[in-house]
Structure 1
Amino acid sequence: MGFNSNDVVTLKLDCAGWYQPYVVDITRMQLGEILLKLDDMAADTDEQATSNHAQRWPSPDEAYAAAPSITSESDWAIRTAAEWADEGLDREWYLRHAAVLDRIALRDATDLFSDAAEDADATATILLDLDQAPRGYDPRAYVRQQYALWASSK
């Protein structure tokens, strides 16, 4: 069963803050063209957001300039996870834990048998999901950016 591109369909758009929905009758061909344009616009927006953020990613040295030692941060993460086990961990824990794993991975970058980079990427991805950040971002660069912002606000 095929579709006739000249069949008329009703398009109803309703967004928060609108007084009433926008309703229009259009052909299937017009609907297809609109959907393709929206898809292209979304792709352009994702690429633009990714490139805009990529220009603002701090280097590891910039992001972790005032960070406590890796040992100190690791101890804090372990102690806090044990204390908060029943309540659940908050964003600060995930951010600081992802940052310390990133720092370990950077330090161990020459060790071919290290799982540090994989652990750092996985934890950084959890932070991306927690923040509902676009998946086009480099997860560890995002952690560095967020850590630098967090550290500057304390």
Structure 2
Amino acid sequence: MTINPDDIVTIELDCAGWRAPYVRDITRHQLAELLLQLDDMAADAEEQAPDDAQKWPSADEAYTGAPNIDAELDWLNRTANASYEGLDRDWYLRNAAALDRVALGESTTEHACPDEADATAVLLLDLDHASRDYNPRAYVRQQYALWASSK
């Protein structure tokens, strides 16, 4: 059986967040070229580690100007106890950042628990639908720095 590169095939691409699938008729030759391009793009993405230190701020950079950690923990507890409608993303971000700071030893009243900080950071990744390939606590620092700079 021979395959004619000029035969027409229908492709359908559908990604989360798209209103409708992308459907097109292309030749087998065009499909082969498209697949090679996608393969090259995947290889390039693998070479660019998502944990690139260039894009992740250090803890000192991320938490510069942040409230006193013990005051922040108090606010988080009060807000969680008073919220009857659920907590928003800002609360989860601030909670993850506070636990990161506690794990780094900033609190004088709370004991460092890196596992809890890691788990809460992963929760934020999931809440944001971010890649699990990211370093979770570095992601928290990046998001906190962005959030703090927009306030």
Query: 8 Å contact 1:46–1:136 — kept in the other structure?
Result: no
Q: Which stretch of the first structure deviates more once superposed, 32-41 or 88-97?
A: 32-41
Contact 1:105 1:116 in 2 (8 A): yes
**Structure 2 counterpart of 1:54:** 53
Residues 97 and 140, structure 2, Cα contact 8 Å, conserved in 1: yes
1:125 paired residue among 118, 122, 130: 122
Match of 1:88 in 2: 86
Q: Which residue of 1 aligns with 2:64?
A: 65
Distance in 2, Cα, partners of 1:126 & 1:39:
31
Q: TM-score, normalised by structure 2?
A: 0.73
Seen in structure 2, the aligned counterparts of structure 1 residues 32 and 25 have a Cα distance that, compared at 3 Å, is closer
TM-score, structure 1 normalization: 0.71
Query: In the TM superposition, what whole-angstrom CA distance separates every residue of 1:48-72 from its partner, at most 9, and x where no partner exists?
Result: 3615x53121111111121112211
Of residues 92-101 and 130-139 in structure 1, the stretch that sits farther from structure 2 once superposed is 130-139
Deviation at 1:137, TM superposition (A): 1.1
Task: Output the CA distance in 1 between the equivalents of 2:2 and 2:127.
Answer: 42
Q: Which runs of 5+ in 1 are unaligned?
A: 109-113
Contact 2:102–2:112 (CA<8 Å) still a contact in 1?
no
- Counterpart residue identity of residue 144, structure 1: R
CA deviation after TM superposition for structure 1 residue 79, in Å: 0.9
Question: Amino acid of the residue matched to residue 105 of structure 2?
Answer: R
**Map of 2:150 onto structure 1:** 153
Distance 1:37 1:14, change over 3 A: closer
The structure with more helix, counted as a fraction of residues = 1
Match among 103, 106, 112 for residue 104 of structure 2: 106
Shift of 1:115: 6.6
Once residues 129 and 43 of structure 1 are traced to their aligned partners in structure 2, the CA distance between those partners, rounded to angstroms, is 25
Contact 2:69 2:101 in 1 (8 A): yes
Rounded to whole Å, the distance in 2 between the matches of 1:78 and 1:35 is: 51
Quote how far apart the aligned CAs of 1:13 are. Answer: 2.7
User: 1:22 is matched with which residue: 21, 24, 45?
Assistant: 24
State the identity %: 55
After superposition, the CA RMSD in angstroms is: 3.4
After TM superposition, give the deviation of residue 82 of structure 1 in Å. 1.2
State the shift of 1:38 in Å. 3.0
